[in-house]
């Protein structure tokens, strides 16, 4: 991988890929936590509206520009970033660069399009409300980070969204959609000189400004308990806590502990304990969401209402197993073998590799190859995993959210 920083502050990271397909995009340090208190939902709304017209193109022209040559143009918004990305064959690289920079830096956010698109976003909000197994993740994070920007829902609030005008979106994007707040990532067999040559010269020159209302500190809060009455057949439960940020030295050890506990495999400890041995749940998993300075670790399961307390006890029992003593040499070796296999296969998803490359440069100022990632996993000890588990998995310090 190679990287450089242009005079306007734009960071560029690029690496060769084994195919003729190019994966590229612009990652912006402009997520939900970068909104002011008056801009709830703006990061996601601006992402939607960026496709609705620029100085050079109509909404229809934006939609068809890459699709007409078999390519793809898309975007997503997170709590800490907004990413616009494109996939195309190598011979259409110039088209992808042109449309990406046009959409990100020259969108007009026309008011007439806002009136239509706000209803699309509100439908998206309602679709989450209709799916408790998805909604509970947002509600749990809101509970965990109550009063902090990380606790906001990415999609925002319907009533607030309907009040936004073109001027509001422009104020937001003029502050954050600038080269010094962005990373261009390119994963493909494109010459470095070609990458640099295709970067437009007419980009905004204003530096990004710090949003002073954002709270940087994240004080540890006491464990919280909340029960929400829902008219659903199943009970849905989340149990978890704040976790390490991506720059924390213990982050990878926690990543491994989480994979052992409730990762994607059917052999995870939680799946064996709750589903395979006792048939109490259809789905049980533990997840680790990582931000730059904090994270969210949580266990989710759905079960019959009368089984909630039993399932909670079983979850806590599995947590205690990881907290009581370090893994044996055999268990550590097996855990590493499993997670290294998962990592290796994930690198076959080239789009994910490209986006990850851009996000890592955006938030941590560096990249990481597969071999470097695996080497870090190999260096983790049983003691490291034990320490991480004791600090985060403490069964007596869990926040719990229940939909019943």
pLDDT in tens, 145-166: 998 999 999 999 999 999 999 9
Alpha-carbon radius of gyration of the chain: 22
pLDDT in tens, 276-288: 999 999 999 999 9
pLDDT in tens, 390-402: 999 999 999 999 9
* Residue 242: pLDDT over 50: yes
Residue of 101 and 220 predicted with greater confidence: 101
* Residue 250: pLDDT over 60: yes
Q: What is the pLDDT of residue 209?
A: 54
User: pLDDT band at residue 222, thresholds of 50, 70 and 90?
Assistant: confident
Q: Whole-angstrom Cα distance, residue 282 to residue 344?
A: 28
**Which residues lie below 8 Å from residue 353, measured CB to CB, with a gap of 6+?**
23, 187, 346, 347
Q: Average pLDDT for residues 35-53, to the nearest whole number?
A: 96
* Residue 373: pLDDT over 60: yes
Q: What is the pLDDT of residue 100?
A: 98
Q: Whole-angstrom Cα distance, residue 329 to residue 286?
A: 23
Q: Whole-angstrom Cα distance, residue 181 to residue 183?
A: 7
Q: What is the pLDDT of residue 231?
A: 84
Q: What is the pLDDT of residue 348?
A: 95
Tell me what percent of the residues of the chain surpass a pLDDT of 70: 96
Rounded to 5 degrees, what are φ and ψ at 5?
Answer: -125, 125
Q: What is the pLDDT of residue 265?
A: 86
Q: What is the pLDDT of residue 219?
A: 61
Distances (CA, A) of 369 to 1, 86, 118, 374, 375: 8, 21, 40, 9, 10
Q: Average pLDDT for residues 349-368, to the nearest whole number?
A: 96
Q: What is the pLDDT of residue 218?
A: 73
pLDDT in tens, 70-123: 999 999 999 999 999 999 999 999 999 999 999 999 999 999 999 999 999 999
- By three-state DSSP, how is residue 343 classified? helix
* Residue 212: pLDDT over 80: no
Q: Whole-angstrom Cα distance, residue 43 to residue 79?
A: 9
Q: What is the pLDDT of residue 206?
A: 62
* Residue 232: pLDDT over 60: yes
Q: What is the pLDDT of residue 70?
A: 97
**Which residues lie below 8 Å from residue 183, measured CB to CB, with a gap of 6+?**
10, 11, 12, 13, 26, 27, 358, 361, 362
Q: Average pLDDT for residues 58-69, to the nearest whole number?
A: 97
Query: Comparing C-alpha atoms, which of 361, 318, 274, 341 is closest to residue 83?
Result: 361
* Residue 213: pLDDT over 50: no
Q: What is the pLDDT of residue 211?
A: 45
Average pLDDT, the chain: 94
> pTM of the predicted model, to two decimals?
0.95
* Residue 271: pLDDT over 90: yes
């Amino acid at each position: 991988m190679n990287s450089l920083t242009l005079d306007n502050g734009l960071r560029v990271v690029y690496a060769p890929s084994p195919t003729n397909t190019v994966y590229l995009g612009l990652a912006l340090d402009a997520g939900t936590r970068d909104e002011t208190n008056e801009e709830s939902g703006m990061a996601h709304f601006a992402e939607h509206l960026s496709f609705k017209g620029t100085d050079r193109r109509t909404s229809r022209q934006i939609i068809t520009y890459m699709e007409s040559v078999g390519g793809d143009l898309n975007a997503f918004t997170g709590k800490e970033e907004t990413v616009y990305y494109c996939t195309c064959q190598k011979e259409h690289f110039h088209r992808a660069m042109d449309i990406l920079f046009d959409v990100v830096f020259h969108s007009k956010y026309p008011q007439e399009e806002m009136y239509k698109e706000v209803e699309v976003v509100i439908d998206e909000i309602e679709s989450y409300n209709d799916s408790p197994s998805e909604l509970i993740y947002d509600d749990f994070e809101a509970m965990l980070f109550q009063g902090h920007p990380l606790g906001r829902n990415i999609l925002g609030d319907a009533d607030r969204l309907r009040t936004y005008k073109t001027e509001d979106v422009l104020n937001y994007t003029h502050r954050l959609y600038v080269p010094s707040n962005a990373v261009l990532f390119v994963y493909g067999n494109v010459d470095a000189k070609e990458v640099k040559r295709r970067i437009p010269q007419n980009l905004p020159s204003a530096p990004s400004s710090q949003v002073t209302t954002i709270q940087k500190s994240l004080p540890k809060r006491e464990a919280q308990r909340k029960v929400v009455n829902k008219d659903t057949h199943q009970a849905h439960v989340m149990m978890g806590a704040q976790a390490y940020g991506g720059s924390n030295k213990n982050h990878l050890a926690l990543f491994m502990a989480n994979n052992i506990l409730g990762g994607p495999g059917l052999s995870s400890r939680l799946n064996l304990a709750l589903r395979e041995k006792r048939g109490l749940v259809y789905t049980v998993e533990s997840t680790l969401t990582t931000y730059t300075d904090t994270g969210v670790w949580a266990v989710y399961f759905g079960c019959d209402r009368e089984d909630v307390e039993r399932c909670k006890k079983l979850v806590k029992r599995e947590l205690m197993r990881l907290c009581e003593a370090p893994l044996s040499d055999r268990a550590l070796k097996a855990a590493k073998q499993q997670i290294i296999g998962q990592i290796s296969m994930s690198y076959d998803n080239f789009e994910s590799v490209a986006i990850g490359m851009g996000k890592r440069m955006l938030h941590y100022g560096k990249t990481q190859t597969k071999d470097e990632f695996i080497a870090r996993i190999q260096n983790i000890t049983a003691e490291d995993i034990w320490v991480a588990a004791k600090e985060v998995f403490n069964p007596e310090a869990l926040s719990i959210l229940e939909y019943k």
